[in-house]
Amino acid sequence: MTIGSAGEHTWRYRMWQHLRATYDGPFGIVGPRETLHDKATDSADSYEYADPDFPRGHLAGWGEGWHHLTPLISDAVRASRADVLLVSLGLIDLGFYTNAVQTAENVRAFVAGARGANPRVAAVFLPVIPNTRAESDVPFAAEVVRFNELLAKTVADLDEQSSPLLMASVPDSYDIRLDTYDGTHPNASGEHKLAAAFADAMHQAWDVGEPYTA
């Protein structure tokens, strides 16, 4: 979802373009990782960005979720001096590693780890987005719905004035037949819609940039 594949853009790239066009101030895209996923070799070692000028820093991994990144977030925030986190996780967790309740516990640990490194860190969280498995696997679909409910509750519970947390909203128009290339991973249209989810949440709550336009 977030790391992207060799030769392709990502919602991170669309967000970067949006901020460059609408945010009246300096900002940086940071993170300890720089590579993309290489579908040809099934490895995360590609540097073939569609736009070589796009800042490479991120903390994403192909097939990684809250289960994997929660133990890493404290060091990542501390090392990169990140002060705003944009988080899209959960699909892989619910599919393979943890149920909705366990995943929500990882969300709490993730926030605690991030705040341990930067007590004033802010974050925007995206719900698990529509995907093909949720259409065909009823128990999995129920876990997605349950987790998204728990995620919203957790974000509300943990929100603080000095370290604000936001929930983004996946646009109602998001359609896995039109906005993904395989029923799960976003194509260009989907990338714009996910970037818009983050951008609009930050604009509405924090007056960052302007409403998203592709």
pLDDT score for 7: 87
pLDDT, tens digit, 9 for 90 and up, residues 189-201: 999 999 999 999 9
DSSP secondary structure string for all residues of 112-159: HHHHHH-TT-EEEEEPPPP-HHHHH-HHHHHHHHHHHHHHHHHHHHH-
DSSP 8-state symbol, 105: H
Identity of the residue numbered 14:
R
pTM for this model (two decimals) = 0.95
pLDDT, tens digit, 9 for 90 and up, residues 29-40: 999 999 999 988
58 DSSP β-pair partners: 33
pLDDT score for 174: 97
- The CA–CA distances, whole Å, from 139 to 65, 135, 208 equal 19, 10, 38
Examine the pLDDT at 214 and tell me if it is beyond 90. Answer: no
Per-domain boundaries in the chain: 11-206
Distance, in Å, from the CA atom of 93 to the CA atom of 66, rounded to the nearest integer, reads: 7
- Token pair recorded at residue 134: 């949720």
pLDDT score for 106: 98
Distance, in Å, from the CA atom of 49 to the CA atom of 88, rounded to the nearest integer, reads: 20
pLDDT, tens digit, 9 for 90 and up, residues 66-104: 999 999 999 999 999 999 999 999 999 999 999 999 999
CATH fold for domain 11-206: Rossmann fold (3.40.50)
